[in-house]
Amino acid sequence: MSILGKKIGIALSGGGYRAAAYHIGTLRALHRLGVLDKVDVISSVSGGSITSAYYALNKDNYEEFEKGFISSLSKGVLWSSFLYLGIAGIVMLALSVGMGHLAGFVSAVFFPHHPIVSGICAALGGVIMLFLLLILFLKYSFVTLPTSKFISRLYDKVFFKEKTLGDLPDRPSLCINSTNIATQLPFYFSKSAMGEYAYRVEKKSIFNATDFPISSAVMASSCVPYGFTPITIDRKYLVEEYENCPTKPEAPKLIDGGVYDNQGAHKLSHDKSRFHTDYIIVSDAGNSSVSAARTTNFFNLAMTTISLMMDRVKKMQRADNLYETYVGKEHFAYVPLEWECSERLIHGFAKNLKEGNIHPDVWQAHAITEEEVSRLKGADEQSATKAIIEKVKKAIKWSELEKKIPRQETENIARSVGTSLTSLSLQEIESLAAHSAWLTEMQVRLYLPMLVAERE
């Protein structure tokens, strides 16, 4: 228990390497504020799970963590899949050419005086063979192109060095989230357990988490539909007493955790979750860049549709956490890439206060009085807003924060980084980290002042 018996949680969103780099800044700011060592739970999704797992394995030396992680992000993990796809293409082409030659040879035997017929047969034989191989390749692509296995191996090589869930620390507790197609529910991985309620017998998980590879858990969390093959759980990870018992429902088939919750905040805010926390910092690397201009083919249309649905879920979740009454809710501080680093955030705080969305212990920590809150909601709104903004600026040390606002060029670079697992330049990594570091300090000081009060 961290602050007066209450727990602190961090949610690290999805977004490929962009998210992984963005979350460096969030952890950096929390480390600087003295909050990071107090964190009880880190809940992560997709690219955020790369960061959370790497940090958990290297948390005892923060500077070394940052140095090693930034170096690792300069190495992509998609090249093996492209290499395999290229080899598969060469093999199919070679088989097609071979079939064409065979068809040409056979036709030459039966029609020795008609070379044109032999040529046509050779061409048709090659085309038909290529078509059949392509159909088989696509129909059984989970077997013929097991991309997730390749990425998992590279995750181990670049980030996790074959560590297992049992190697994770007890604190902070990690919750690596994926989505289970079999049950349409979130499936989590942690040091002591993995699964969901559907895979429990007498309140115990049927899976043994200790020896499960961290790389496979992170791959399940970042397994983007249409891009990677779903992750399955081998029967060797069943607890011994359940090895001969068929699981109900069907065995899990796991894809990107972002399909269910791309922010990772659900497990932290759900009342009945074992990972529930009271103070929640959400580092969100999404950039909401859904555009019809990208729907130029079936694949792009499918990916854009998924992005649209994920973005809608995110906005609904954020609205519920931030823009509804605070009564009975956790304390949230949001750190989204899509928000600009500016004084507007303080004005947004005043607006949230007027609408009754701020916990009283937050505005009281900023030395705001009940009388000022009443004036804010009354006829004297303008002068009350001005007075409150001045108090908040003083409380959060705005004069210091203002000097550290990232340049517009830095923010532009950060938002230009795409969602993928390809290597990032040092400039891209530092631009993303600079944005999130500043915004994290700003939002924590604004909405979670109790976390830094003891230190200051």
The DSSP line for 142-192 is HHH--HHHHHHHHHIIIIITT-BGGGS-SSSEEEEEEEETTTTEEEEE-SS
Domain-terminating residue out of 220, 252, 284: 284
* Residue 237 CB neighbours (<10 A): 17
Angle at 52 between CA 67 and CA 398, to 5 degrees: 75
Predicted confidence (pLDDT) at residue 311 exceeds the cutoff of 80 = no
Q: Read off the tokens for 136.
A: 């088989």
Q: Is residue 129 part of a domain?
A: yes
- Max mean pLDDT among 102-111, 253-262, 300-309 falls in 253-262
Q: What is the tens place of the pLDDT at every residue in 239-266?
A: 876 666 655 667 899 998 888 888 899 9
Catalytic-role residue among 2, 13, 43, 46: 46
Report which of 172, 220, 169 is spatially closest to residue 194, judged by C-alpha positions.
220
Helix (H, G, I), strand (E, B) or coil at 213: strand
Beta strands in 222-366 (DSSP E): 231-232, 253-256, 279-284, 331-336
256 among known catalytic residues = yes
199 and 253 housed in the same domain: yes
Alpha-carbon gap, residue 11 to 266, rounded angstroms: 9
Domain-terminating residue out of 103, 123, 148: 148
Question: Structurally, how many domains does the chain consist of?
Answer: 2
170 and 65 housed in the same domain: yes
pLDDT at 279: 95
For residue 141, the enclosing domain spans 78-148
207 and 274 housed in the same domain: yes
List all residues 6 or more positions away from 393 whose beta carbon is below 8 Å from its beta carbon.
Answer: 346, 399
Report which of 8, 5, 6, 16 is spatially closest to residue 43, judged by C-alpha positions.
8
What are the backbone dihedrals phi and psi of residue 61, each rounded to the nearest 5 degrees, phi first?
A: -135, 95
46 among known catalytic residues = yes
pLDDT at 82: 52
List all residues 6 or more positions away from 63 whose beta carbon is below 8 Å from its beta carbon.
Answer: none
pTM: 0.84
Q: What is the tens place of the pLDDT at every residue in 3-54?
A: 667 899 999 999 889 999 999 999 999 999 999 999 999 999 999 999 999 9
Alpha-carbon gap, residue 435 to 242, rounded angstroms: 48
Catalytic-role residue among 72, 148, 178, 256: 256
268-292: average pLDDT: 86
CB hemisphere CA count around 398 (13 angstroms): 16
pLDDT at 76: 64
141 and 185 housed in the same domain: no
Q: Read off the tokens for 298.
A: 């079936």
126 and 89 housed in the same domain: yes
Q: Is the dihedral of CA 154, 157, 161, 162 positive or negative?
A: positive
Q: What is the tens place of the pLDDT at every residue in 384-408?
A: 899 999 999 999 999 999 999 999 9
Q: Is residue 384 part of a domain?
A: no
Q: Is residue 447 part of a domain?
A: no
Q: Is residue 300 part of a domain?
A: no
124 and 237 housed in the same domain: no
Q: Is residue 116 part of a domain?
A: yes
Q: Is residue 456 part of a domain?
A: no
Alpha-carbon gap, residue 451 to 151, rounded angstroms: 38
Residue 305 is which amino acid?
T
To which H or E segment does residue 12 belong? Answer: strand 8-12
202 and 118 housed in the same domain: no
Q: Is residue 357 part of a domain?
A: no
Domain-terminating residue out of 148, 180, 201: 148
Alpha-carbon gap, residue 326 to 345, rounded angstroms: 18
Would you say 174 and 44 are in contact if contact means Cβ atoms under 8 Å apart? yes
Q: Read off the tokens for 287.
A: 């950039």
Torsion of CA 8, 177, 52, 36, to 10 degrees: 0
61 and 174 housed in the same domain: yes
219 and 89 housed in the same domain: no
83 and 66 housed in the same domain: no
Predicted confidence (pLDDT) at residue 120 exceeds the cutoff of 80 = no
37 and 176 housed in the same domain: yes
Tell me the average pLDDT of the chain: 84
What are the backbone dihedrals phi and psi of residue 272, each rounded to the nearest 5 degrees, phi first?
A: -95, 5
Predicted confidence (pLDDT) at residue 228 exceeds the cutoff of 90 = no
47 and 68 housed in the same domain: yes
Q: Is residue 110 part of a domain?
A: yes
